[in-house]
Amino acid sequence: MKQFGPSHIRPDNMDKNHIILMRLQLLMVMIKARLRGYPTGEIRKKAVLENAAALHKMAENIDLSGLGLHGSSHLFRQRVKLLCVMAVAIISEDCPLGIHRREAVLENIDNLMESAFATKKLVLFHDVLNAA
């Protein structure tokens, strides 16, 4: 049997911060997919709403000391909460999305990416987004 990748990597234990950051990345991907016109069915809408609600609650309790953020931790928390509110507005069909709202959402995502994920780049994969 072939083995790919290193054989003796021991994964770190996941804590609340890992989960919050993974939820944050997932929410960013979901929002960018919606803004780029990918289809949003009932399952995706429900996933975005649940993820945004959970992330909004978790944002207050995040310990940012070990993340090495580039900027204020208070500002980071507020940007995460704002992104959650923006996600709910984007997913709802009652809220029109104008050019200024799109720019504000993308600017907030860019600022969060720059703060928390400075070494990573968020890339949307066409096949993955069309799969669900």
80: CB partners within 8 A, 6+ apart: 24, 55, 56, 59, 62, 112
| Mean pLDDT confidence for 52-65 | 82
Model confidence pLDDT, tens digit, residues 6-21:
555 556 666 777 788 8
Model confidence pLDDT, tens digit, residues 18-36:
788 889 989 999 988 888 8
Please say whether the beta carbons of 92 and 50 come within 8 A: no
| Mean pLDDT confidence for 29-55 | 89
Domain ranges of the chain: 16-131
Highest mean pLDDT pick, 5-9, 13-17, 66-70, 75-79: 75-79
| Mean pLDDT confidence for 85-90 | 88
Q: Percent of the chain, pLDDT > 90?
A: 14
Q: What is the pLDDT of residue 95?
A: 66
